[in-house]
Amino acid sequence: MNLESELERLKKELERARFELSVFYEITQAMRSTLRLEEILYVILTGITAHQGLGFNRALLFLVDFENKLIKGKMGIGPVSREEADKIWKWIREEKKELMDLLKEYHRIKERKPELFRMVEELAFPLEGSDTVLQQVFSEGLPIFIKSHQAAGLKNDVLVKKFDLEEFVIVPLWAQDKIIGAILVDNFVTKRPITPSDIKILNMFSSQAALAIENSKLYEDTLWRSHVDSLTGLWNHGYFQFKLKEEFDKNLQRDTPLSLLMIDIDNFKDYNDKFGHMEGDKVLVRVAEIIREESRKTDYPCRYGGEEFSVILSGISKKDATSIAERIRQRIEKEEFLRRITVSIGVVSFPQDASDRQTLIRMADNYLYQAKAAGKDRVSTGK
């Protein structure tokens, strides 16, 4: 190799190193812009797949659920076909989207959840096991680089089969001496070979990503604890006010209904006086469990205060909300306590009963007390 070609090679390496450091800095700065876990994951995967980032075609992220000893698919970014890739790249090119522009697309992406995103979310593997390449990464704690000829021998591997993997890399996410997750990347469309330099920068990036994820988890755990009632595990009054405003504004913008249940345990003071506060707490906990069980996954059951509960039901009519309220009432009435326990429930809906959030709460209270005045153990809709 002559001096001129050697200088050219070194120049290219230097340019590559500068580019990698610039990308690394930009993505790590973006990760510091939020503490919310889903947003952090989106920043990480966008940084890995964006042309101005690490430039991989696809990236899949998995996190460990230590309580249930599972490896869960959390998010995936990238195309599932050449046609989809062409559409994405055409859009980026025509809209002149830079890395920071792509990061701002998170909430739009979250709403429509592309196919790869949904495919990854469906996955879960036992943490203890080595049947898949992914589990092998967790058991060995080291990155795995699978070349095309090796992938041909892994046709029964769930990930290889599901995502039609050929050449790919999986890197573990280490935080505080434990693996909290893993990232899988490939060049599904372009077939661009993965180089040692690609793997090196991906490994460097994964260390920062793991730290950002761990910090986000700590933040969200703290945030969750501050919003949850310590006795019942339902959302507390502060979170009720916050979420009702958020859901009200959303449904107002979409011109969709929003319903609210206000629930009160009948004669609860008498129960406490007769059986004591410990038994009273057991009632509160069980009533909260029933309310949660009878609510939809998209609802927000809350402990409003004392023996009063509420449920925010977004996008649901008053008729359907009343059906849920009636199921709650009937289940509590049939539950075995030291003495029969019943509840009174007020049901209101926007825009049917109120045009603003505060009026909605006030009307829910009014209907609740109508149920009380009418003999308790009933659902009132104001009729």
Enclosing H/E stretch for 98: none
Question: Which residue carries 């609510």 as its tokens?
Answer: 295
- Chain CA centroid to CA 199, Å: 28
What order do you get walking across the sheet with 343-350 strand by strand?
300-305, 308-314, 258-265, 343-350, 379-380
- Does the annotation mark 128 as catalytic? no
Q: Which of 128, 279, 307, 326 is catalytic?
A: 307
| Beta carbons of 314 and 250 less than 8 angstroms apart | yes
Cα-Cα-Cα-Cα torsion 229, 231, 232, 238, nearest 10 degrees, comes to -10
Contact partners, residue 126, CB within 8 Å, separation at least 6? 69, 70, 71, 135
Rounded Cα–Cα distance for residues 357 and 314 (Å): 13
* Geometric angle at alpha carbon 97, from 93 and 101, rounded to 5°: 165
Beta bridge partners of residue 179, listed in sequence order = 174
How many other C-beta atoms are found inside a 10 Å radius of the C-beta of residue 295?
Answer: 19
Rounded Cα–Cα distance for residues 101 and 251 (Å): 27
| Beta carbons of 278 and 224 less than 8 angstroms apart | no
Active site residues: 307
